[in-house]
Amino acid sequence: MDKYIIELIKKLKSRNRNDLANLLVGCKSGIEETNQYGPYLNKLSSFVIYAPKENYGKLQKISKNDTDTIFQFVLEFYPKSEDLEIGFLNFRPLPNEKDQYENQELANSWLRRARIKLDEGSSLVFKCNYAEAVSSFQECIELSLKAISLLLLDKYQKEHKFDEKEFKEVLSNIPNSLKNLEFHKLYLYSKFWGNFYTVAKYGLEELGIGAEKLLGKDEAELAQKHADRCYFKANQLKIYLEDPW
C-alpha cells in the first residue's frame, strides 16, 4: 500500500467506517489525467484506487454516498490548484496482483531470516565469536532493509548496499505514523556495516590479517545494537501495513 491509501484508511477509521477502510487494505493509488477541464482551464485528473480482485468487486458495489465519502478525503490530499485538480474517483483491478502477493511473501521471508541472523549473532557474541557475530548482524541489517524496500516499493536493491537515491525513494514512502522511528538512520547503518561484508568473512587478505583480529567485542556489540534497530523498524512497518492506525 502507498501512503495515500494508508491515509485514507486512517481517515475512514477515524469516522468509524472500518467497513470501507478494510476494503482499501492491499490497494494502491495513482493519478490519471482525463480529457475534461476544470475551472483553472487545466485538465481534470482522476484519483484511481487499484484494488485486489476480491475487494475490487466489493468496491464496485458500494453506494454513491460511500464513494463520495472516500472522494472527499482524497480531495484533502489534493487541494484544487493550477497544477492539479482531482475531479473523479475510479476503482480499477490491481495490476500484477500475483507478483505483489509474491513480493509480500518474500518480504516476510526476509524478515524471518533477519530475525534468525539477529539471534544467531547474539549467540555468537555470548560465545565471544565476534567476527562471526558481526557477519550475522550485517546480514540482518541487509535483509531488514531489503524487506522494507520490497514492502514499500515492490522492488529491492540486489547489491549489498543501497545508494542515497534509492533510499530516498524508500523514505518518501514511509507512513506518517511511523516517521518517529527515524528510518533515515537505517541508511547510515546499512552503509556503514556494508563496508564490513567481506572483512567480517575474510579479514584483510592483502595485509594478512584475519577477521578475528579486526573485529572484537566493541564492534560486535555496536553491530548488534544497529541490527536490532533495523529489524525492529522493519517488523513494525510490516505490522503497520497489515493494519494501519
What is the tens place of the pLDDT at every residue in 177-232?
A: 999 999 999 999 999 999 999 999 999 999 999 999 999 999 999 999 999 999 99
Q: Which residues on adjacent β-strands are paired with residue 52?
A: none
Is 160 in a helix, a strand, or coil?
Answer: coil
Which of residues 42, 73, 93 is at a domain's end? 93
Q: Which residue has the cell 482531482?
A: 86
User: Given the DSSP bridges, would you call strands 86-93 and 28-37 parallel, antiparallel or unpaired?
Assistant: unpaired
pLDDT band at 40 (very low <50, low <70, confident <90, very high): low
Q: What number of other Cβ atoms are within 10 A of residue 53's Cβ?
A: 9
* Same structural domain, 70 and 101: no
pLDDT band at 41 (very low <50, low <70, confident <90, very high): low
* Same structural domain, 119 and 144: yes
What is the tens place of the pLDDT at every residue in 113-142?
A: 999 999 999 999 999 999 999 999 999 999
pLDDT cut 90: percent of the chain above it: 78
Residues 203 and 214: beta-carbon distance below 8 Å: yes
* Same structural domain, 63 and 149: no
* Same structural domain, 74 and 137: no
* Same structural domain, 134 and 235: yes
Does 44 score more than 90 pLDDT? no
* Same structural domain, 175 and 236: yes
* Same structural domain, 57 and 167: no
* Same structural domain, 35 and 49: yes
* Same structural domain, 109 and 222: yes
Q: Residue 31: give the domain boundaries.
A: 3-93
Q: Which residues on adjacent β-strands are paired with residue 33?
A: 45
